[in-house]
Structure 1
Amino acid sequence: MKSKDKYLPILLFACVGLGIMIGGIINFPEHYSTPKNAPKAKLNKLIDFINNEYVDDVNSDSIVDLTVNSILEKLDPHSIYLPPSEQTTEAEIMKGDFVGIGVNFYMYKDTVTVVNPLPNGPAAKAGIQAGDRILFAGKSKLYGRNLPSDSLFTKLKGEEGTKVNLTVYRKSTNKKINLTVTRATVPIKSVDIALMINKTTGYIKINRFAETTYDEFLKGLRDLKQKGAKSIVVDVRNNGGGYLEKAVEIADEFLKEDELIVFTKNKKSIINKTFATSEGIFENGKVTILIDENSASASEILAGAIQDNDRGTIVGRRSFGKGLVQREVDFEDGSAVRLTTARYYTPSGRSIQKPYTKGEGEKYSHDFETRFENGELYAKDKIKVADSLKFKTKKGRIVYGGGGIVPDIFVPLEVKKGEEGLAYLLNSGVVDHFVFEQIDKDRNAFKDMTYAAFLTNFGKDDSFISKFEDYLKNAGLELKLSNNKEIVKTHLIAEFARQLFGEIQYYQILLKDDAMIKAVLKKNQ
């Protein structure tokens, strides 16, 4: 990695870190009525004074937002304010569905371009295909206007059962077509996949803990059991968290009755303990949890419960270290505040919250930089643990508090040292967009290709690596990919498979060479 790109990994980490800040552990929203008191009266009087007397016109809403943000910044890194636009998006993501047309798209050359329609979704049923450009929604022009994402969503979303007339340009046939799509409820999956990676090992990938996560997980777990799974791997890498309750419900499927899952403690030292029930459907098979430096909050609750009860093995790298519980307060204008109201603890009694200084959220977020510098992404003995924070698991094994879950089996980053940013780049939208554009050059060439033929042809083709390198260079990222040729090739082939064939094929290719999966299979031999 060239010197001018040395901050790339930190920037990429910061993007994931922001997701962790927003998507941390939260309980379901509550509405509060605030009592009249002197501090509130002082703030109201100041805002009224500014509105009535300040020499220039001022947006009072912006003043309030600034005040709220300033207050929360003085508390902890996870107490945050969400303006109405962000709160609406977050609420949909955590609810697990929205009403719309059901397409994955991105702005390609200032045109709404369909990467793929969701299977059996409204758009797919209406005839929308991958590669289609959506030019108009009704009479609203969607191209050549630099429209922000929220404006596009407004045009494509609507009430369930309503219709939207779309004018579409189909590049593969060089024709414009008119289609009518009936809006419907579209699921936002929080469980990406549940599949068998060998005859006895099932794999479940969870990308966040939303309202629907437990139901999605349970469906996948039952399916894998029916297929003969004696061992289950739960992947929560890059999972920034979500609802505490859903992590608890998933842990309950693996733990025996009355085993402690988690407990919380608030400012009044009131402790709430949550125990497993007798309802678990996988209480005896092998369990492995995959974690990394971006696994946070609810992901850490799940990993901590499994580790402290000696129920399974934690594989990967030290997790993020978020042990604060937020409660959401909604306001009438659609905004919300997520306020830290308690700390959570794993069954052994450890807090895995990493240290922070109030009012220094930026420094807290840059903990990733420290992990790069101290080498802990490549060697377990570089992880700094506090000897004063020793705890014991159910069987007496020593575990540590004070900064994330330390895995039982450590697996270093797969990319070469000094090129850490590439690992996160490969899991970003950059790869998706590059692959889409490559396919889009001649979509008809892939039309009748079988999966077997695809594997044969692409397995021998290294040209896409140099093309991807050029693509990154044109985007301002000069990265040499030759030192990490195999991992780059795997990610590119996997993404081609996803866009051409589907999620199952994507994960089949990606997991085949995954270092953590290899570590799991080696241990379970």
Structure 2
Amino acid sequence: MIFRKTYLPIIIGAAVAVGVLIGGKLNFSDTSDRLFTSNSKKEKLNRLIDYIDYEYVDDVNTDSIVDVTVNGILQNLDPHSVYIPKEDMERVSENMKGDFVGIGVHFYTYKDTVTVIRTVDDGPSDKAGILGGDRIILADGDSLFGKYLEDMDIIHRLKGPVNSKVSLKIFRKDTNQFLDFDVERDVIPIKSVDASYMLTNTLGYIKINRFAESTFKEFKKALLDLKSKGAKGITIDLRDNPGGFLGVAEQIVDEFLEDEKLILFTKNKSGNIDNTYATKNGDFENGEVYVLINENSASASEIVAGALQDNDKGTIVGRRSYGKGLVQREMDLGDGSAVRLTVSRYYTPTGRSIQRSYSAGNKDYYDEYYERLESGELLDSAKIIVADSLKFTTPKGKVVYGGGGIIPDVFVPIDSNMENETLLFLEQRGFISYFIFEELEKDRHLFDVYNKRDFIDNYIVSDDLVLGFQDYLNVRTAANITFVSYPDEVKLFLKAIIADQLFGKGAYTEVFNKDDAMLREVLKISEQH
């Protein structure tokens, strides 16, 4: 399998439907006989489907009717109980598992041809000698080009069992050669730690994009590496992180809290309470910790921020988080599809629920970002609405609030330089990525003089590149776009995408972090300790 490269907007957190998931098997107090026994409600639905199958005047795909019915039922429960159709299960499972079996390339379908952006470091394609810019023409004799070839068709042709081989015919543009490669498929990680590096001589930084099965292992490795480099403090960047597995969030919190400190508790329909406490396994209990959050930090991200805040550990920096305090369990529906059903609520150590209301319906719930924008909350912490009835106090006397996300200890407003909506839109739609790819295609060897560190520290985007991007957009969008009013922001985005295509997500993150408002605040606070 391979990655198709896309860039998501920083502003709108649509991915929060991932929610907080509980791993493991179902554990209902009722027996399976009790759960799945016949009753009039189930019989009514079954009978209706049978009538449509056998009696309706036209042929109807009743599978699609069932899907619509399931979605309709779930939408009347809460915003985070979701249906996963059979055709989506493999992709969703791989994303949450944190790895897949494939050949290890990031690619575009560029001018009807599968074109490698870059290979996964030490992955099968990297080891075989495939390079960025290579066109994959054939896989085991089957063509991989043509305007009607879908991405999933490409992926399925390149997938296969671990250690199996696929024969690829490659066209290498800069040498004008056709080359043959036998690539042995292997397990490829889908990394959830985007970046890990030292901000100063004593302050480390770790960026987590989601909480998958593999996340804690990645995080622990990064944490120990930063400690070995002299980190006395750690910044955990959870901005735009939609959540994931509950247990993984608990493991990460455990690294920072002393033994027997309460991490969270959950309460189910029956009122049963399950407490989770920190253990003796923590490797950073005595260090400073800073957590970065924003309006798109949800569920498992909020568990980490809330557990540390309520235990008076570290400093939460940023803007009010999303506000998701529900826990889902994934349940197999027997035909390859599944449902993630809300089975409990979670509460931070002081006893607060940070779940915001969804009584006005799912649309209003997901549109709350715009309400925050219009109210001025994203620019001024004084505009955050709190309820005295949801006031809680930490052991050291700090006042915290429930009812709608984690309010940070240190507020940082939206940085217009970093969150320019025009540039975010252009990034999301792929315009910046395609432009940079075409620029690299002109002569990739111009960047051979740079390693990752040199590029981040020393590469300067030229004015000519900005003008070239402006012309590129005006030709393709029939617009009249000019970047005169924000050239520095454009240069930042262009440099970040070049970094990503040459060196990966870690380099992309470091480029953006060079002038990041929240990190500037963290550095200021850390100097006072």
Question: TM-score w.r.t. structure 1 length?
Answer: 0.92
1:524 counterpart SS class: helix
Other-structure match for 2:443: 442
Percent identity over the alignment is: 51
1:261 counterpart SS class: strand
The 1:422/1:453 distance shift into structure 2, 3 A limit, reads: closer
Other-structure match for 2:104: 102
In structure 2, distance between residues paired with 1:522 and 1:138: 56
1:74 maps to amino acid: N
| 1:451, distance to aligned residue in structure 2 (A) | 5.8
| 1:408, distance to aligned residue in structure 2 (A) | 1.1
Other-structure match for 2:380: 379
Structure 1 gap ranges (5+): 1-10
- Contact 2:461 / 2:491 at 8 angstroms: preserved in 1? no
Other-structure match for 2:395: 394
- Is 1:369–2:377 an aligned residue pair? no
How many residues align structurally? 512
After TM superposition, the structure 1 = structure 2 runs for residues 83-482 of structure 1, keeping only pairs within 5 Å, are: 83-357=85-359, 360-415=361-416, 419-420=420-421, 422-423=423-424, 426=427, 430-449=431-450, 454=455, 458-459=459-460, 461-473=462-474, 474-475=476-477, 480-482=482-484
The 1:503/1:275 distance shift into structure 2, 3 A limit, reads: same
After TM superposition, the structure 1 = structure 2 runs for residues 466-505 of structure 1, keeping only pairs within 5 Å, are: 466-473=467-474, 474-475=476-477, 480-505=482-507
In structure 1, distance between residues paired with 2:481 and 2:310: 41
Match of 2:39 among 32, 37, 40: 37
1:249 maps to amino acid: Q
- Contact 2:418 / 2:516 at 8 angstroms: preserved in 1? no
In structure 1, distance between residues paired with 2:101 and 2:303: 31
2:438 maps to amino acid: E
| 1:509, distance to aligned residue in structure 2 (A) | 2.9
| 1:145, distance to aligned residue in structure 2 (A) | 3.1
The 1:104/1:451 distance shift into structure 2, 3 A limit, reads: closer
1:383 maps to amino acid: I
Other-structure match for 2:29: none
| 1:49, distance to aligned residue in structure 2 (A) | 1.1
2:467 maps to amino acid: S
The 1:35/1:429 distance shift into structure 2, 3 A limit, reads: farther
The 1:324/1:426 distance shift into structure 2, 3 A limit, reads: same
- Is 1:18–2:14 an aligned residue pair? yes
Cα RMSD, aligned residues only: 2.4
- Contact 2:13 / 2:240 at 8 angstroms: preserved in 1? no
Farther-moved stretch of structure 1 (189-198 vs 203-212)? 189-198
| 1:512, distance to aligned residue in structure 2 (A) | 2.0
- Contact 2:10 / 2:424 at 8 angstroms: preserved in 1? no
In structure 2, distance between residues paired with 1:98 and 1:418: 33
Residue by residue, what CA displacement relative to the aligned partner does 1:198-226 show, whole Å, maximum 9, x if unpaired?
A: 10001011110000111111111111111
- Contact 1:68 / 1:81 at 8 angstroms: preserved in 2? yes
1:459 counterpart SS class: coil
Farther-moved stretch of structure 1 (379-388 vs 71-80)? 379-388
2:404 maps to amino acid: G
Other-structure match for 2:75: 73
1:27 maps to amino acid: I
In structure 2, distance between residues paired with 1:487 and 1:318: 25
The 1:199/1:449 distance shift into structure 2, 3 A limit, reads: closer
The 1:207/1:455 distance shift into structure 2, 3 A limit, reads: closer
1:348 counterpart SS class: coil
In structure 1, distance between residues paired with 2:431 and 2:219: 28
- Contact 1:13 / 1:368 at 8 angstroms: preserved in 2? no
Structure 2 gap ranges (5+): 1-7, 27-31
In structure 2, distance between residues paired with 1:112 and 1:163: 19
The 1:426/1:187 distance shift into structure 2, 3 A limit, reads: same
